[in-house]
Structures are given as structure tokens and as C-alpha cells.
């Protein structure tokens, strides 16, 4: 179950970890954009547990915790740099220098170079394996310009390869055609399929990095209709893009959908979380889920999913049938 990042020579296993939650408590313009309090020492031990268990791909961003996530990841991988693949993102200017500005972005060559240097410092490394555009929508001129900048950074050895975090299929396709990018990051989980984006990645030989693979934790099965998320947790915020929670509560329709497919997800001795990852691996051989985490215990459960492998084609079809989705051929 190896994943190949284009011509960069980077190879990883089928599971990574997402480092947004370990960015900790932070707000932008008074609205929570983090996952509440975290214990940095526990985050570091959790990352080291992952590496020991063979999970070596870490996805972060300069925006997570306005740089704190990158710093914590950097501390965790000191002395282990050659064992890990570090992916980070740039483009939003809500970094530590400009934290009062929310939702603004900059992909000019000057800004990208500045952001890259700051990420390298925070990560305590002299190269980034995968440098991803964080801004999901750009115009044609911005796309052309940022590709030139990224190619230059590859030539200079600051980054090994690059990708785009976008939900927009036509932009992903355009990026794949125009660039030598190795990955598209997009949302994918059993409650939110995106077969066409996965297909683009398959056809263009790019890795499909899957964010929110646990539907922001809802797929752990630990929430019910009475659960209330804390106000300092992004899931308890009023952001429109928080898909699975509203007014600080899990959306009942998603809880019902999870209940309907839980028996299949938990087949072969899997926990619900492990079943959610198994569904993603059942979707395609290019998918690479990056579930978030805060503790060693969560990481051990996530990493334990790898040996249990993907759901079978018939289980995938049965889930589509239960959720009333059209059948999709599994490759």
C-alpha cells in the first residue's frame, strides 16, 4: 500500500497524520480556528509513537495555531528528519506576523519565499518534502505564477515537491496539467465521497491526500445527539465550512448515516475510526488520509488501522447502497 509522490522520489505508507488540532487554542477575529487546549508534550509523544508504528507522513500548515503546529512538529522530529515526510501549506497570511487578518491570502513570489523560510525555521529543517498551496481558489495568473515560484523552490532544494489543497475539481485538473505537482489535498470520508477528485488524482498519477477523514471526529462514534462541543473548539464555532457540526452539536443526519454503516465499518475487528480509514483505502490505491489527533492513544488506534487494510469492494458497494449513492467502480 505505498504512495508515490510523482517524480519526486517521495514514497510513504497509506496513512499520514494531520497536525491542525495540535496547533492548539487560537482565535482569529474572535472566532475559534483551532481545536481547543492541547498539551504540547503529549503531541510530541504522539508524533513519536506514530513514527515508531511506521506512520511517517505529517501534514501541517503555517496557519495552524499561527505557526504553533509547525513548531511542535519540528520539535517532535528533531533527530528523525530522515525518517519522516513533512508536508506543510502556505498562502493564508494569518501567520504570526499578521494574525489580525483573517481570510486574506498572498501567493506572490516574495510572499511565498518569505512563508517558506518561516516554515523551514519553525520546522527546524532545511527542506520541506511537500509544499502545498492552502488557498483553495486562485485565478489563472495566480496559478501560473505560483507554479513558477514552486518550481524554482524545487530547483533550489528548499522543497522536494508541491501540491494544492483545493476542493475545486476543474482547478485541480488545471493544476495537474500545468504543473509537476505531486498531490491534491481534498476532503474525503465515508459521509462525504468525492469520486471525481479521486479519479483526477488516479489519472494524473498524483496522491489524493484526504483531510477530515474522520468527519472532524464524528466518525469516531463518540458523539450523540446530546453532545455539546466547547466554544473554543472550531467544531463549536459558527464557521459555515464546519460541515459536520452546527451550533456546537453534531448534525443528526450524519450521526444517523454513521449508525447505518457502522456494522460494515467495524467488520474484521476494526474500531469505528479504523473502519473510516478502511473505507478511504477501499476507495482508491492513491488515497492518503491524514486524520487529526491530540494523544498517543488516538494515534495508536489510527496507526493500528493499517494492518487491517481496506474494506472489500462488496462492502464499499453496500455502503453506497445504504447511503443511497450511485455505485462507483473500485480500482
Of 165 and 284, the one with the shorter C-beta distance to ligand NAP is: 165
Of 94 and 165, the one with the shorter C-beta distance to ligand NAP is: 165
Nearest CA to 131 among 110, 141, 146?
A: 146
Of 280 and 311, the one with the shorter C-beta distance to ligand NAP is: 280
271-300 residues near ligand NAP, rule: CB under 6 A:
273, 290-294, 298
219 CB contacts (<8 Å, ≥6 apart)? 189, 190, 191, 213, 258, 272, 273, 276
- For the bound state, the minimum distance from the C-beta of residue 232 to ligand NAP, rounded and expressed in Å, comes to 11
- For the bound state, the minimum distance from the C-beta of residue 299 to ligand NAP, rounded and expressed in Å, comes to 8
* Residue 185 binding ligand NAP, by CB under 6 A: yes
Residue nearest to ligand NAP (CB): 18
* Residue 88 binding ligand NAP, by CB under 6 A: no
Segment near ligand NAP (CB under 6 A), from 150-158, 198-206, 210-218, 280-288? 210-218
118-177 residues near ligand NAP, rule: CB under 6 A:
134, 165
- For the bound state, the minimum distance from the C-beta of residue 86 to ligand NAP, rounded and expressed in Å, comes to 12
- For the bound state, the minimum distance from the C-beta of residue 45 to ligand NAP, rounded and expressed in Å, comes to 15
* Residue 19 binding ligand NAP, by CB under 6 A: yes
* Residue 65 binding ligand NAP, by CB under 6 A: no
Q: Crossing angle, helix 313-322 and helix 272-283, to 10 degrees?
A: 110
Of 282 and 292, the one with the shorter C-beta distance to ligand NAP is: 292
Of 90 and 293, the one with the shorter C-beta distance to ligand NAP is: 293
* Residue 214 binding ligand NAP, by CB under 6 A: yes
Of 15 and 176, the one with the shorter C-beta distance to ligand NAP is: 15
| Residues composing the chain | 331
- Beta strand 183-187 with 207-211 is parallel
- C-alpha triplet 182, 186, 187: angle, nearest 5°: 150
Segment near ligand NAP (CB under 6 A), from 105-113, 205-213, 260-268, 305-313? 205-213
* Residue 301 binding ligand NAP, by CB under 6 A: yes
- For the bound state, the minimum distance from the C-beta of residue 314 to ligand NAP, rounded and expressed in Å, comes to 26
- For the bound state, the minimum distance from the C-beta of residue 311 to ligand NAP, rounded and expressed in Å, comes to 18
Phi, psi at 321, each rounded to 5°: -65, -45
Binding site for ligand NAP (CB under 6 A): 18-21, 35, 59, 134, 165, 185, 211-217, 220, 222, 273, 290-294, 298, 301-302
Amino acid at each position: 500500500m505505498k504512495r508515490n509522490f510523482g517524480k519526486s522520489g517521495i514514497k510513504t505508507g497509506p496513512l499520514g497524520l494531520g497536525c491542525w488540532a495540535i496547533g492548539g487554542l487560537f482565535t482569529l477575529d474572535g472566532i475559534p480556528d483551532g481545536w481547543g487546549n492541547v498539551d504540547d508534550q503529549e503531541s510530541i509523544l504522539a508524533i513519536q509513537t506514530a513514527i515508531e508504528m511506521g506512520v511517517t507522513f505529517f501534514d501541517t500548515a503555517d496557519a495552524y495555531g499561527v505557526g504553533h503546529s509547525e513548531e511542535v512538529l519540528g520539535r517532535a522530529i528533531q533527530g528523525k528528519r530522515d525518517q519522516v515526510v513533512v508536508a506543510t501549506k502556505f498562502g493564508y497570511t494569518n501567520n504570526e506576523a499578521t494574525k489580525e487578518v483573517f481570510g486574506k491570502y498572498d501567493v506572490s513570489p516574495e510572499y511565498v519565499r518569505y512563508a517558506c523560510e518561516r516554515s523551514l525555521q519553525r520546522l527546524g529543517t532545511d527542506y520541506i518534502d511537500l509544499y502545498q498551496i492552502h488557498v483553495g481558489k486562485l485565478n489563472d495568473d495566480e496559478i501560473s505564477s505560483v507554479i513558477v515560484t514552486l518550481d524554482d523552490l524545487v530547483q533550489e532544494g528548499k522543497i522536494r515537491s508541491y501540491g494544492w489543497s483545493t476542493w475545486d475539481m476543474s482547478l485541480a485538473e488545471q493544476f495537474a496539467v500545468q504543473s509537476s505537482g505531486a498531490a491534491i489535498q481534498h476532503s474525503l470520508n465515508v459521509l462525504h465521497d468525492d469520486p471525481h477528485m479521486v479519479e483526477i488524482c488516479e489519472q494524473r498519477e498524483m496522491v489524493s491526500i484526504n483531510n477530515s477523514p474522520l468527519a472532524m471526529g464524528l466518525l469516531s462514534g463518540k458523539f450523540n445527539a446530546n453532545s455539546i462541543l466547547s466554544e473554543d473548539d472550531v467544531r463549536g464555532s459558527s464557521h459555515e465550512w464546519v460541515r459536520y457540526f452546527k451550533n456546537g452539536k453534531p448534525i443528526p443526519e450524519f450521526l444517523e448515516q454513521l449508525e447505518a454503516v457502522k456494522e460494515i465499518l467495524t467488520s474484521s475487528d476494526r474500531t469505528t475510526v479504523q473502519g473510516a480509514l478502511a473505507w478511504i483505502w477501499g476507495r482508491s490505491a492513491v488515497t492518503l488520509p491524514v486524520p487529526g489527533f491530540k494523544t498517543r492513544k488516538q494515534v495508536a488506534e489510527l496507526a493500528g488501522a493499517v494492518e487491517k487494510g481496506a474494506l472489500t469492494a462488496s462492502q464499499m458497494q453496500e455502503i453506497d447502497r445504504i447511503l443511497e449513492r450511485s455505485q462507483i467502480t473500485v480500482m
